[in-house]
Amino acid sequence: MVIGPSRCGKTTLVNALNDYDGPLRKTPDLIYGKNTIDVPGAYIENAWMYKHIIAAAQDAAYVLILIDQSNCTEIYSPGFAKSFRCPVIGVITKCDLMLENKEKCVRQLKNIGILEPYFYTSFKVGTGIDALKKYLFEKGKE
C-alpha cells in the first residue's frame, strides 16, 4: 500500500513497483495494482478517511508512507504508522529537491512512528527506486 499527500509521487512510484510504463492519471479511488494498493491523496489529507486506509491495509504486505522533500508539510498524525499491522516503510520522494528539508522529513517519519531504514527516491534523477524494489520484493521471498 502506498500512502501520501497529493502530488508527492505516489502514482509514479506505484507505476514503477508494478512495472507499468503508461500515462499517469489522477487516482480518484483506491486502485489495486499487480503489486500495490494506490491510495488517493485525499484519503490522507482528510483524517476522517483514515479508517478506510486502515481497513484496506489488511490486504497489504507493507505500507509505504511517502513524504515529499520538496514540500514536506506535516500532514500525518503523530503515531499514525502504529495503526497498521504490517511493516511500515518511510519513503522520502523528490530527494533531489530542497535538500535543506531532508532532516525535517526524517523527523516527520520518526514522529509518525516509522523506524529506519528510510528510502530516498527521485524519478527525475533515477535515485532509490531499485533499492526500494529490492527491499520489498527480495525481502518478501525470505
Give the pLDDT of residue 21.
Answer: 86
Q: How confident is the model at residue 40 (pLDDT cuts 50, 70, 90)?
A: very high
Q: What is the pLDDT of residue 10?
A: 93
Cα 80 off chain centre by: 13
Rounded to a whole number of angstroms, the CA Rg of the chain reads 14
**Degrees, nearest 5: CA angle 97-98-102:** 105
- Over residues 52-107, the pLDDT tens digits come to 999 999 999 999 999 999 998 899 999 999 999 999 999 999 999 999 999 999 99
DSSP E strands in the chain: the ranges are 2-3, 31-32, 37-38, 63-68, 88-93, 118-120
pTM: 0.93
Q: Domain 2-137 adopts which CATH fold?
A: Rossmann fold (3.40.50)
